[in-house]
Amino acid sequence: MFRLITGIPGPTGFGSASTAEQVTQGIDATSLTVIITGGASGIGLETSRILAQRNAHVIIGARNMEAANEAKQLILKDNNNARIDIFKLNLASLKSVKAFADHFISLNLPLNILINNAGIMFCPYQLSEDGIEMQFATNHIGHFYLTSLLLDKMKETAKSTGIEGRIVNLSSVAHIYTYNKGIRFERINEKTSYSDKKAYGQSKLANILHANELARRLQAEGVNITVNTVHPGLIMTNLFKHSAISMRILKFFTCILWKNVPQGAATTCYVALHPKIKGVSGKYFMDCNEFKPSRLATDEALAKKLWDFSNKLIDAAQST
Q: Which amino acid is at 285?
A: F
Q: Which residues contact 93 (CB under 8 A, 6 or more apart)?
A: 128, 129, 130, 142
- Tell me how many helices (H) and strands (E) the chain has: 12, 8
C-alpha distances (whole Å) from 54 to each of 4, 12, 151, 263, 279 are: 27, 20, 24, 17, 21
* Backbone φ, ψ for residue 190 (5° rounding): -65, 130
For residues 66 and 312, give the distance between their C-alpha atoms in angstroms, rounded to a whole number.
34
Pairing of strands 83-88, 57-62: parallel
Confirm whether 194 is a catalytic residue: yes
Q: Helix (H, G, I), strand (E, B), or coil: what is residue 118?
A: coil
Q: Strand 57-62's sheet: what is its strand order?
A: 83-88, 57-62, 33-37, 113-116, 165-170, 225-231, 284-286, 289-290
DSSP lists the bridge partners of residue 166 as 113, 226
The runs of H, that is alpha helices, within 222-299 are 244-253, 261-264, 266-273
Angle at 188 between CA 185 and CA 193, to 5 degrees: 115
Q: Which residues contact 311 (CB under 8 A, 6 or more apart)?
A: none
Of 194, 200, 270, 284, catalytic: 194
Residues annotated as part of the active site: 194
